[in-house]
Amino acid sequence: MRYMSNRTGPMRKTTYFVLASLHDRSLHGYGIIERTAELSDGRVLLTTGTLYSALDRLTGEGYVSPVSEKTVAGRVRRAYGLTRAGVTALRAEADRLEQASHVAGAIGRRAAVGRIVVVGGRARLVSSKAHRSELP
């Protein structure tokens, strides 16, 4: 069954890295597995079962499509590529992740500058210098 996704929430990590692996060029299954591991610095290691389930789902959602097929040693070897919808979805998720990264960075900078302390039952953010001066 073919359908187009109207996804608005975050993408699964596997989905993002499979789509990202196809961003520059079409690849066959083993190439996608290798490129996904490379792009994720080894954090996403796909098995063939996981990959082909994801490719079936992404094909059904209209994000990828087979672009070529050849038989090698009696086995069909398909290469997959991104569709326009796949490129759009990948860009949208990359934008979402970039925005989240900025927020995380701001939180990290605030945490490095100050500490949360509880005074009189209320939490307050104080600078590291002020926090140190309050300690005995």
Q: What is the pLDDT of residues 4-29, one digit of tens each?
A: 455 567 899 999 999 999 999 999 99
pLDDT given at position 134: 45
Strands (E), 83-121: 114-119
Q: What is the pLDDT of residues 29-64, one digit of tens each?
A: 999 999 999 999 999 999 999 999 999 999 999 999
Q: What is the pLDDT of residues 92-118, one digit of tens each?
A: 999 988 888 777 666 665 555 555 555
Nearby residues of 58 by Cβ (< 8 Å), 6 or more positions away: 15, 18, 19, 64, 86
In the block, tokens 């009189």 appear at: 120
Using a 10 angstrom Cβ sphere, with 0-12 exposed, 13-18 middle and 19 or more buried, the burial of residue 90 is: buried
pLDDT given at position 7: 57
Which domains are present in the chain?
13-109 (1.10.10.10)
How many CB atoms are closer than 10 A to CB 74?
A: 5
pLDDT given at position 99: 85
